[in-house]
Amino acid sequence: MVGVFLASSSLALLHFIIEKEPPKTEQIPVLLIAFVMSVFWISTTAGELLNCLAALGALLELPPALLGLTVLAWGNSVGDLVADVCSGQGRPPCIGHGRFHVGIVIAFVFLLLSLMGSLLVITWCRFRVPRFWGFCLVGLYVVFMAVSLLIARFSG
């Protein structure tokens, strides 16, 4: 994998150095292949990052709920969807099926608070983001994480 990355990077650098003008015509097949490859690389990198973080959490004996509230939550959203579908179809329960709905509701409430508050504050301040609003959003995030950790800790 490192070899493919180095080869891709060196070819991109070589192309950047040699080519001085943009292409004369649109190259739809090349653009399509580039898009598919970028999706592939993003997916592969995200998967490897999640695997490394899960291994690190296992080594440090961190509870899965704590890992689920942080970085793993973004990359694992598709897995939670699959877990909900599995449990809804009567299959053996998968990771995350019980607390997933509670987490979604809490996240949705805090998301609405931050988005609606941002809409109001930014409109009132003539479409400039004031410094205090950044502190308010960070505080809202801290409260969200504290509530989520408390729910994860005491929900069994």
The pLDDT tens digits for 76-125 are 555 555 555 555 556 555 554 455 556 667 777 888 888 888 989 988 99
* Percent of the residues in the chain that have a pLDDT greater than 90, as a whole number: 7
pTM: 0.42
DSSP codes of every residue in 86-142: HHHTTPPP-TTTTTHHHHHHHHHHHHHHHHHHHHHHHHHTTS---HHHHHHHHHHHH
